[in-house]
Chains A and B, each alone.
Chain A
Amino acid sequence: TQLLEQSPQFLSIQEGENLTVYCNSSSVFSSLQWYRQEPGEGPVLLVTVVTGGEVKKLKRLTFQFGDARKDSSLHITAAQPGDTGLYLCAGLPAGNMLTFGGGTRLMVKP
């Protein structure tokens, strides 16, 4: 069982659709990070959410940190083929080792 559970694991949608990816845990995190990884590359940091209830927007991407700081979501509006990739959430629980979720593999078809 992973400390951070991501859902769904796979998502295939058409260009223009909206989607939400979830990152859940029973543990409290001081912050949560979201990364995107494209084939053949390392993950790239998208955003860090720090405050419970915080909402951050990055163009068509909206990130939310749960009030209790145990979960986070990523919402993409009007998805584009360029959004295709592996989305990873990561948090720093007690023990100071950054822990990653299992990832959501997103494919956006033109």
Chain B
Amino acid sequence: KAGVTQTPRYLIKTRGQQVTLSCSPISGHRSVSWYQQTPGQGLQFLFEYFSETQRNKGNFPGRFSGRQFSNSRSEMNVSTLELGDSALYLCASSSLQGFDNEQYFGPGTRLTVT
């Protein structure tokens, strides 16, 4: 079974621009979560989507948004980029069966904002 894929792997943007990141979950997984990872803050939860609906949202400003499509693929968007948005953005999918919300992560998108 193919793992979680994320595109692009690397991205360089300028402050003020917007960016869209894409995530394809493991086949059959309907829950997709997004995380931001930085050296200072660690791994922080952005939001979770299930069946095209946002189920949970972390403590991030409204510039961070996401959506999920009927095939469970998900995108996240960051508008008006700031230097502090430079981070590794990780997508994870879950089957929500068995143990609590075990996450299967993609390799991440490394975003650099200059």
Which residues of A are interface residues toward B (Cβ below 8 A)?
Answer: 2, 30-31, 33, 35, 40-45, 48, 50, 88, 90, 92, 95-103
Chain B: number of interface residues, binned into ranges: 20 to 34
Question: What residue in chain A is nearest B9 (Cβ atoms)?
Answer: A40
**Chain B residues with CB under 8 A of A96:** 55-56, 101
* CB proximity to A under 8 Å, residues B45-93: 45, 48, 55-56, 58, 90, 92
B108 at the interface (CB under 8 A from A): yes
Main secondary structure of the interface of B (DSSP, over half): strand
A-B contact count (CB 8 A): 59
**Most chain-B CB neighbours within 10 Å: which of A41, A98, A101, A103?**
A98
**What is the minimal beta-carbon distance from A37 to any residue of chain B, in angstroms?**
8
Residue pair B43, A100 in contact (C-beta under 8 Å): yes
**Chain A residues with CB under 8 A of B48:** 97
| Additional pairs, 12, CB under 8 Å, beyond known A45-B103, A100-B44 | A30-B100, A33-B99, A35-B103, A35-B105, A42-B105, A42-B106, A43-B43, A43-B105, A44-B105, A48-B100, A50-B99, A100-B35
